[in-house]
Amino acid sequence: MPLRKVFTLISLILTAVCLIFGTAKIGQGIALAAGLVTLGVWLLAYKWPSTGLPSIALVVSVGLAGTGLCLGASPVLMLAGATLALASWDLALLERRPAGSSSVRTISLLEKKHYQSLLLALGVAFPVMIFGRMIHVQIPFGVMILLVALACFSLARVWRTFSE
């Protein structure tokens, strides 16, 4: 089984697991329904990635995560489920690349770079999400803009380092 399919399956299963465990404190019926709906839509998207199903699965997953947040579910697990849904969507869209467009070596190199950037994004997102849930600080808007600019600059530097 290609590495891309393994990554896609792992991320879509983790998406459903995060949504199930995140909504478990609300009620078992909602948690099970959310997990089954998410898993079902993602499995259909996995089977037919060249259709619009991956985008529908992303909307369903993010919608369920948002609904869970509004109903008082675990924010960390809901955000993790939404983030993993975005990773699953990204990997599913990677399946839609045109066949025979480049050599196998070029495609595998591009996939490797894509996986590195996806893991970097997920690796940065999860600690920032957890850190953001633990600390409650009022930051002025101007300082926030400077921090966002610094984060963008830092990510661009890291990206350049990986692409060299």
Q: Provide the token pair at 108.
A: 């595998």
The span from the CA of 100 to the CA of 120, in Å, is: 28
Q: Using one digit for the tens of pLDDT, what is the confidence trace for 98-110?
A: 555 566 676 677 6
Instruction: Determine the distance from the C-alpha atom of residue 143 to the mean position of all C-alpha atoms in its chain, rounded to a whole number.
Output: 28
Q: Is the pTM for the entire model greater than 0.75?
A: no
Q: Using one digit for the tens of pLDDT, what is the confidence trace for 140-164?
A: 889 889 988 888 888 788 777 767 6
The span from the CA of 72 to the CA of 70, in Å, is: 6
Q: Using one digit for the tens of pLDDT, what is the confidence trace for 4-47?
A: 778 778 888 888 888 888 887 777 677 777 778 888 888 888 88
Contact between 18 and 84 (Cβ < 8 Å): yes
Q: Domain residue spans in the chain? A: 3-96
Per this entry, what is the length of the chain?
Answer: 164
